[in-house]
A and B are shown apart, each in its own frame.
Chain A
Amino acid sequence: MRRAAIVLGALAFAGALASALLALPPAPVSLPPAVAAKMDVSGVSHPVTAVLLNFRGYDTLLEVAVLLLALLGVLAIGREDRIVRGRHVERIEPVVAMLARLGVPLMLLVGIYLLWAGAHRPGGAFQAAAVIAAAAVLLNLARLTPAWTQAPGVRLRWGLTGGLLVFAGIAAMLLTGGTLLAFPPARAGLLILVIESALTVSLGLILAGLFLFLSEDRGGRP
C-alpha cells in the first residue's frame, strides 16, 4: 500500500516536473553574454574558472568551508572500531602495486597540469584536487600508504585548512576596496593562481582524508 503510493507519487512528480520543463519559457536573463562581457577583467580566459573564482568567488569560499566541516564531521564520528585492524594482511596483487607505482606520479603530474590549465581551458583546482585525492586512494589500496588512523598532526591540519585560510585571507585583504572578493583586474590573474594552488593542496588532502580517515586498513608494508 505504502509502496504503491510512493511509486505513484514519484511517477506523478516525474511527469509534472517533465511537463514543467517542456513548458518553461526562455529565461528572462541570459547569463552567458554577461559573463563574456566581463571576461577581460576577470584575470583568466576560461569562463568556468572566471565564474568559480572571480564572479561567484563568495560561493566557492563557503563551499570550501562546507568541505572542511564535512571532514570534521567524519573525524568526529570516527571509525566504527579500532580493534579489527591489522588482524590479517591481505596479499596485494603485483599488478595493483605496479599500477600504483607507475600511475601515481602520472596522476600528480596531471593534477598539476589541470591546476595550471584552469586559467585558460577546462581544468582548475577542483579537478586537480580530485585527481590528486584519487592518487592517494590508489596508494592506500596498494598498501603503499597507511590509512590515517591518528588524529591529524599539526602539519596535516595546516594543509587541510590552508586553502580556506588563504582564500579568506585574500578576501579580507580586499575588503578595503569596499566589496567582498572584488579582485583588481591587474592582479586578478595572480591572486586566482595563488588561491587555486592553495585550494588544490587543501581540497586534495580533504578529499583524500574523507577516504583515508574512514578506511580500516592499516596498510604499510608487512
Chain B
Amino acid sequence: MSNGLLFALAGALLFALGAGGVLLLTHLLRRILAFNIMGSGAFLVLVGLAQRGSVVDPVPQAMVLTGIVVAVAATALALALARRLRALTGCDDLDVATEPKGKSDA
C-alpha cells in the first residue's frame, strides 16, 4: 500500500470523525474544531488519492494549498459569528440561541 492511499484512508476517517463531531457537539467552538477536522480529512483524501501510485501530482496540491487558506478565512468568519452570538445571547450553542431570551438585536 502506497503512503498516498494510507493517508487518504486516514483522511476518510478524519472526515467521518469531524462530521460526527459537527452533529453531536453543541458548543460552538467545539463545532468549529470539528468542521476544521472535516476539512483536513477532505484535503488528505484529495492529495492522498491522487498520489496512490506514488507519483507526485501538483494539481491537487495546488488546490489544497488554496483550500487551506480559504479554510482559515472561513474559521475566522465562523469565530466572529460565534463570538457575536455569544455576546448578544450569552449562550454557548445554537439550540438555546434559536429561542430569543427576551432580547435580540431588535
Determine direct contact between A and B, CB below 8 Å.
Answer: yes
B96 close to A (CB within 8 Å): no
With a cutoff of 8 Å between Cβ atoms, the chain B residues found around residue A13 in the complex are 16, 19
Dominant secondary structure of chain B at its interface with chain A: helix
With a cutoff of 8 Å between Cβ atoms, the chain A residues found around residue B79 in the complex are 214
B76 close to A (CB within 8 Å): yes
| CB contact under 8 A between A10 and B66, given known A21-B45, A27-B50 | no
B8 close to A (CB within 8 Å): yes
Q: Is the CB of A21 within 8 A of B12?
A: yes
B30 close to A (CB within 8 Å): no
With a cutoff of 8 Å between Cβ atoms, the chain B residues found around residue A56 in the complex are 59, 62-63
With a cutoff of 8 Å between Cβ atoms, the chain A residues found around residue B52 in the complex are 26
Give the number of chain B interface residues (Cβ < 8 Å).
Answer: 41
Q: Is the CB of A3 within 8 A of B24?
A: yes
Alpha-carbon gap, A70 to B62, bound state (A): 21
Q: Is the CB of B61 within 8 A of A48?
A: yes
With a cutoff of 8 Å between Cβ atoms, the chain A residues found around residue B5 in the complex are 21-22
Name A residues whose Cβ lies closer than 8 Å to a Cβ of B. Answer: 3, 6-7, 9-11, 13-14, 17-18, 21-22, 24, 26-27, 30-32, 35, 47-48, 50-52, 55-56, 59-60, 63, 66-67, 70-71, 73-74, 77-81, 126, 129-130, 203, 206-207, 210-211, 214
Residue pairs across A and B with Cβ atoms less than 8 A apart, 29 shown, are A6-B20, A6-B24, A9-B20, A10-B23, A11-B16, A13-B16, A14-B12, A14-B16, A18-B12, A18-B13, A21-B45, A26-B53, A30-B55, A31-B50, A32-B56, A35-B59, A48-B58, A52-B65, A52-B66, A56-B62, A59-B66, A63-B66, A67-B69, A73-B80, A74-B77, A77-B81, A77-B84, A207-B72, A214-B83
Name B residues whose Cβ lies closer than 8 Å to a Cβ of A. Answer: 5, 8-9, 12-13, 15-17, 19-20, 23-24, 45, 49-50, 52-53, 55-59, 61-63, 65-66, 69-70, 72-74, 76-77, 79-81, 83-84, 86-87
